[in-house]
Amino acid sequence: MNRFVFVVLSLVLSARFAAADEFPSPPNTEQGNPSPIARKEDADDHNLPLLVWYGLSSLDNELVAQLVELARQCEWPTTRRLIARRVAEEVETQPVELSWLLRKASTRSIEFQSDVLDGMSEAFVGWRKVSQPSAWEAFLSRIMESDDEKLREKARGLSALFGDGRALDELKKVALDKEADLAARKTALQTLIDARAPGVRELCAELLSTRFVNVAAVRGLAAEDDPTLGAKLVKAYRSFHASERPQLLAVLVTRATWAGTLLDAVAEGKIPRDDLSAFHARQIRNLENKELTAQLSRVWGELRDSPEDKLQLIAKLKAELTPDTLARADTRRGRAVFVKTCSACHTLYGEGGRRGPDLTGAQRHNIDYLLENIVDPSAVVTADFRVTILELADGRVLTGVITARNEKTVTLITPTDTLTIERLDIDIQQQSKQSLMADGLLQPLSAEQVRDLFAYLMTRAQVPLPDLSK
């Protein structure tokens, strides 16, 4: 660790002194004074690139110019990308520094250019508009000479954010090209949505029936305050792959008019009742519409989340889930229930999402532990997993956990998505004591599904998924 500390201190202090004109600029490889971050052999070190970045990230904003010089010397991709992100984040107050970085990157390797593009893309997530850096056109021309399509794709995305009409037209062609790779079409559409390109609403509506691309299309339509869109989204439900339908449902429950249309479809059997999760139900209730809450109770069920209700349910389930009952369970079907109900947020046996805690090492073999955490997930919840409710200027209500924030944006995670939102778009922000995991998780499940789920959670080794084709 002594070497790590030395490297960090030498870089941070040299940058500070250079800015104050007290000492020469940061170690310069061109002057025969090699910088520690110019050592390629340390690029794959598990700790050093991030440790150095943590030290550099403490530099004041007025020292951003020194970061550009360090980026020029840097042979560590991770540190280089993070430096580029920091320089890009300050573009509104220090635009010259980003152009300096782009000029230096123009003459460097594809790997260097890719790291700079990645850093810029990360910095601008959630931004409505970014002024094009003065050095961008020259840098872009070098990128477009490359044979690396992924590199060109990254550059086109940023050009679209800068308002380049040519880039927007190219992306529209890719998004509509039925012969193009689905991932490329989806990326192109998402870039157009992020750039708020002209005509993007019509484009998203046209692609609602295109499986795997439509999940991006519905995100593009989410910000449209149009009551008639709810019916169009519900109609497109079967066009979505089963794994992506929760993301469509998550959009439908952000507005009262759309949520009402969704509940009508559930009541009519057009959308299965058990596709609606406890999170969706809680989100509908967070809309604070009495008629909608009553409709939810009739169609889906009542969210019984008082302390007394929870204690009664825990006692009832403990009496039902006896060792004999669990012994008759089908753990393979229990795994299928877990995949549908829990795996978006939780990992078990190395598979699943990471929005919530990993369950593999938890006290899963203790029925009391499972009952308390599933029936009453908000009883003990750390600040990291407490829910925030956001009311946006466009009329949406979003529920999730804020995982990052800066002067420009906040990042909100939900069970189905990660959203970066400009602070200017937030009207009201309300902190909740609830967990991201909603009460009522077991509400849509049958008694057999509950039994199978608990039996699977208590297994000591992974089991195969059931063959549902039989």
- Would residue 117 count as lying in a domain? yes
Residues 312 and 451 in one domain: yes
Please check whether residue 136 lies inside any domain of the structure.
no
Most confident range (mean pLDDT) of 15-29, 260-274, 342-356 is: 260-274
pLDDT at residue 13 is higher than 80: no
On the question of pLDDT at 4 being above 50, the answer is: no
Q: Which of 69, 92, 127 is the last residue of a domain?
A: 127
Query: In this structure, is residue 190 part of a structural domain?
Result: no
* Residue from 364, 346, 310 nearest 436 by CA: 346
DSSP secondary structure letters along 199-247: THHHHHHHTTTSTTTHHHHHHHHHT---TTHHHHHHHTGGGS-GGGHHH
Q: Determine the average pLDDT of the residues in 431-447.
A: 91
Q: What is the pLDDT of residues 159-202, one digit of tens each?
A: 999 999 999 999 999 999 999 999 999 999 999 999 999 999 99
Output the pLDDT for position 20.
Answer: 46
364 shares a domain with 323: yes
Note whether 13 and 118 are same-domain residues. Answer: yes
**Does 424 share its domain with 342?**
no
Residues 280 and 366 in one domain: no
* Residues 314 and 454 grouped into a single domain: yes
pLDDT digits (tens, 9 = 90+) for 190-210: 999 999 999 999 999 999 999
Residue 463 domain flag: no
Same-domain check for residues 403 and 325: no
Specify the pLDDT at position 60: 72
Domain boundary residue among 127, 154, 183? Answer: 127
200 and 78 within one domain: no
Domain extent, residue 429, equals 383-435
Q: Which of 127, 159, 184 is where one domain is finished?
A: 127
Range scoring the smallest mean pLDDT among 42-56, 294-308, 386-400: 42-56
What pLDDT score was predicted for residue 451?
A: 98
* Count of domains forming the chain: 4
Residue 61 belongs to a domain: yes
Considering the domain architecture, whether residues 121 and 219 belong to the same structural domain is answered as: no
Please report whether residue 1 resides in a domain: yes
Q: What is the mean pLDDT of residues 4-24?
A: 48
Could you read off the pLDDT of 120-141 as tens digits, one per residue? 999 999 998 899 999 999 999 9
- Judge if 282 and 368 occupy the same domain: no
* Residue 296 belongs to a domain: yes
Clarify whether residues 331 and 445 are in a common domain.
yes
Predicted pLDDT of residue 29: 42
Residue 29 belongs to a domain: yes
Pair 220, 296 in one domain: yes
